[in-house]
Amino acid sequence: MSRYKRGLVFRTLFTLVLMIVVGMVVASPSNKWRLEVSSDADSAGEVVIRLTPEDGTPTDVRIAIPDDTGENHIARLISAGLKAEVGDTYHVEVDDGEDVLVKKRGGPDFDLQVIELTVKGTRIHAQHE
């Protein structure tokens, strides 16, 4: 086998492995997610949360956050926004003041991502449980 063909085979295999790994990192559906809100808002902005059921259509939920909002209040705003938008499909509740739990109500597992956060000073971390 020529050097060119070996290189081509290596690059093709490397690309396939990379695509599989990225796919596993990007999509990891679960039946329960936790959004951890850290720090108060230093500016007004919004957070956009995407919920994607396995083999389903994504739903984006856009929640406005006022300037100088505490992390517990941000969690309550996120919870209220999610309940208003997808409350029949998911159970949403505030936990420990600054965390939001999102659980499926029957149906398939789902992926949850924070796809946009324009609030300065605040961090929101999504993790499945």
**Domain parsing of the chain, residue ranges:** 32-128
Rounded CA gap, 14 and 26, in Å? 18
Task: Tell which residue, 83, 105, 104, 85, has the closest CA to residue 94.
Answer: 83
| Cα-based distances in Å from 35 to 8, 22, 38, 95, 107 | 43, 22, 10, 10, 21
Confidence of residue 127 (pLDDT cuts 50, 70, 90): very high
Model confidence pLDDT, tens digit, residues 67-105: 999 999 999 999 999 999 998 899 999 999 999 999 999
| Res 23: pLDDT | 46
Residue 13 has pLDDT above 60, yes or no: no
- In sequence order, what are the residues at sequence separation of 6 or more whose Cβ sits closer than 8 angstroms to the Cβ of residue 13? none
Tell me the mean pLDDT in the region 92-119: 96
Total-model pTM: 0.79
Q: Which CATH architecture does the domain made up of 32-128 adopt?
A: Sandwich (2.60)
What SS3 state is found at 11?
A: helix
